[in-house]
Structure 1
Amino acid sequence: THRVHSITTVSKVSVKAGNSISIPCLYHYQYTDHVKYLCKGYFWPSCRHAVKTNEADPSGKYLISDDKKQQIFTVTINRLTNQNTHYWCGLENRVLQVSINSGEMKWCRLGRNCVTGSSGSIDGTTVTAHMSEPNVFTVTMSGLKSENSGWYWCAKGDIQIPVYLTVTENTSKYCK
């Protein structure tokens, strides 16, 4: 992942042209009330703002929302083309720095720990992972509770895919 001065996010994703992607950017609580933004461009110093939390994008290509309770702002890029290739998450003067992933399969909770290899645990859940078929990475999480809801990401090499997991607990007293 990318991490600089309290922002954590995925660093490289793969999306089919014409589709949309939502990317979570986790920040330190001290920046809760700061303006967050998505910046477009290959190099950080010359990138230009695509959308900011205090200004809507009239074209509808970019959306941004800030969950101050979880300290995650989410940017959505619609109608992707092969010109939409380099972006940065930022908040005021805080930006991202790259760290390199290994070539292993990983399943991670954003801002927490990762499971590499075939088994491990994240926040009290048991995680098993395997290649169910070529290019398909299957992750099974057991012991899930509602607090395990949130942003996760899977990775192979330097390609990462963010995934939002919603856990709904069964309130019924009886099993069917």
Structure 2
Amino acid sequence: MQISDSGYYWCAVEIGDYKTLDDGYYLYLKVQSAPGVSVVSSSVSGHEGGDISVQCLYSSEYQYEVRQWCRIKDQSCYTVGRTGTPQNSSVQISEDDGRRSFTVLMTGLSLTDSGWYFCSVGELQSPVQLTITKPQRAPTTILAATPSDFETDM
């Protein structure tokens, strides 16, 4: 894509008769030479009870914008540097000084934490899919014991 491709686009879906528009949506697409916000990994996996971290990066032109980690499902967000809002102890956000990035640490993960999240800087968003699985257990080894001399004497 080229920067000149920026602009409004129309996305439409036709399900039935080709003459009838079933649904449509306008969106504005902004093409930049470098992304305003991005993530190091857009797909992150973890185990139940464990933790994960996500690093969100942003360009210098957005350094004064609000930076957040949000869950799409319930639209809950955690904001970098927000002291007036109590932070959930299982979600911690730390600013990476001088690197135009912030790191999200989620601890004590549960299966219900799986889903789509996004890093946002101002109006820009970068999606992250989080997958939490049960930890695999090591196979159990059963040792067979032979009767001791004491047991055979009885």
Could you tell me the TM-score, scaled by structure 1's length? Answer: 0.46
CA distance in 1, matches of 2:72, 2:75: 4
Aligned equivalent of 2:67: 36
Q: Residues 5 and 95 of structure 1 are in contact (CA less than 8 Å); yes or no, is this contact kept in structure 2?
A: no
Q: Structure 2 residue aligned with 1:82, among 111, 117, 123? A: 111
Q: CA deviation at 1:84?
A: 0.8
When residues 68 and 21 of structure 1 are mapped into structure 2, their CA distance, relative to the original with a 3 A threshold, is same
Paired AA for residue 112 in structure 2? Q
CA contact (8 A) 2:44 2:52 kept: no
Q: Aligned to 1:13, which of 44, 48, 68?
A: 44
How many residue pairs match? The answer is 92
Q: TM-score with structure 2 length normalisation?
A: 0.52
For the Cα contact (< 8 Å) 2:45–2:52, is it kept in 1?
no
1:64 pairs, out of 90, 93, 99, with: 93
Q: CA deviation at 1:39?
A: 0.3
Task: Supply the distance in 2 between the matched residues of 1:6 and 1:28 (Cα, whole angstroms).
Answer: 5
Task: Summarize deviations over 1:2-32 as a string: whole Å, max 9, x none.
Answer: xx94111111111111111111011101111
RMSD of aligned Cα (Å): 2.4
Larger Rg: 1 or 2?
Answer: 2
Q: Residues 8 and 59 from structure 1, CA distance in 2 versus in 1: closer, same or farther, beyond 3 angstroms? A: closer
Whether contact under 8 Å (2:92, 2:105) holds in the other structure is: yes
**Where do residues 1-176 of structure 1 align in structure 2 (5 Å cutoff)?**
5-9=35-39, 10-42=41-73, 47-49=75-77, 51-55=78-82, 57-85=86-114, 86-96=116-126
SS in 2 for 1:83: helix
Q: Distance in 1 between matches of 2:107 and 2:79?
A: 15
